[in-house]
Structure 1
Amino acid sequence: MTRRTRGREIALQVLYQLDHNPDLPPEVIQEFVERRLHDPALRSYADALIEGVRSRQAHLDELIGRVAENWSVERMAAIDRNVLRLGAFEMLYRTEVPVKVVINEALELAKRYSTSQSSRFVNGILDRLQPAATEARNETSPAEERDTPSHEEPAHTSEATDSEPETL
């Protein structure tokens, strides 16, 4: 598992918990991230994903809702909804990550944490968001290109991996 994959996984777990408990204190979130990610750069990456999704959640939900035929964001399974939010955020705002990589990472998260049909659902929604992502990426000036600094990523990490999300 790559470093960024692990950071996305932890970010997804936090977003899922916040979806169910939006008043979770920031120190509890930080403790959770610190327990799961030992590398400060990787913690920073996960924190940036969490904060980015949270600060743009209304916009992300609006975009997802527009392309999700016959589905409202509220009706989606919580894990799928958060995989989509995370993927949409990276597609639109993390321009250092190629869109195809973002979609592949989202599909892997959906396969790991949701139902057998979820990866197809997530793929369909994120595929429909690609034009908006391309437009947003083309409008981003070089000075604005990164929401937060990117981190170099080795092929594998020694961070622990659990297939079940840990609760906060």
Structure 2
Amino acid sequence: MTRRTRGREIALQVLYQLDHNADLAPEVIQEFVERRLHDPTLRSYADALIEGVRSRQDHLDELIGRVAENWSVERMAAIDRNVLRLGAFEMLYRTEVPVKVVINEALELAKRYSTAQSSRFVNGILDRLQPAATEARGGTPPAELLPPPTSTSEAPEPSLKDETADREPESS
């Protein structure tokens, strides 16, 4: 298991805990991470993933919900939902990690912590998020990927453009 894989695994465990107990004290989370990750660099990586997903969770859920045909994020299994949030966050915001690596890591987490069918489900959703990730990684996303301007100085959130108009009907 690579070092970052271990960091992702711990981040996923924390996100899962927070999904079931949103009022979990920050000290409890930090203690959990510190007990499992002794390397400060790896702890920082896991902390950045946790904070990144938490701070953008609504946006990540919106993106995941848009591409998850016939599924709402709330209906997804908690572990799958958090694997998807983690993968979507890394795809969109952690540009030092190649998109293919992010997807493979998410699939491994789904295989390890969820059901046999989960890896296919996660793969399908993250695959549909690839165009937004590619656009976001190329610099400033095109206007149709940007949310409406806000008064904060925070960087814009990438989002998916409506690709259904560009698709040709599938043949059966």
Tell me the C-alpha RMSD between the 2 structures.
1.0
Q: CA deviation at 1:51?
A: 0.1
Identity of aligned residues (%): 94
**1:91-148 Cα shifts (integer Å, max 9, x gaps):** 000000000000000000000000000000000000000001011111259xxxxxxx
Q: Give the structure 1 partner of residue 99 of structure 2.
A: 99
User: What SS does the corresponding residue of 1:116 show, helix, strand or coil?
Assistant: coil
1:58-137 equivalences under 5 Å are 58-137=58-137
Q: Which has the higher contact order (CA 8 A, sep 6+)?
A: 1
Q: Counterpart of 1:46? A: 46
Mapped partners of 1:121, 1:139: distance in 2: 29
CA offsets, 1:60-80, max 9 Å, x none? 000000000000000000000
Distance 1:128 1:17 in 2: 27
Q: Which residue of 2 aligns with 1:25?
A: 25
Structure 1 residues 48 and 13, CA gap change in structure 2 (3 angstroms): same
Counterpart of 2:8, as a letter, is R
| Residue correspondences, number | 141
What is aligned with 1:10? 10
TM norm structure 1: 0.83
The structure with the largest alpha-carbon Rg is 2
Deviation by residue 1:4-56 (Cα, 9 ceiling, x = unmatched):
00000000000000000000000000000000000000000000000000000
If the length of structure 2 is used for normalisation, what is the TM-score? 0.81
- In the TM superposition, structure 1's runs of 4+ consecutive aligned residues that sit over 2 Å from their partners are none
Q: Distance in 2 between matches of 1:56 and 1:135?
A: 18
Which amino acid in 2 is paired with 1:136?
A: A
Letter in 1 for 2:15: L
Match of 1:158 in 2: none
* Counterpart Cα distance in 1 of 2:97 and 2:139: 16
Matched AA of 2:101: V
Point out where structure 2 has 5 or more consecutive residues left out of the alignment: 142-172
Separation in structure 2 between the aligned mates of residue 133 and residue 60 of structure 1, nearest angstrom:
12
Structure 2 distance, partners of 1:77, 1:138, is: 32
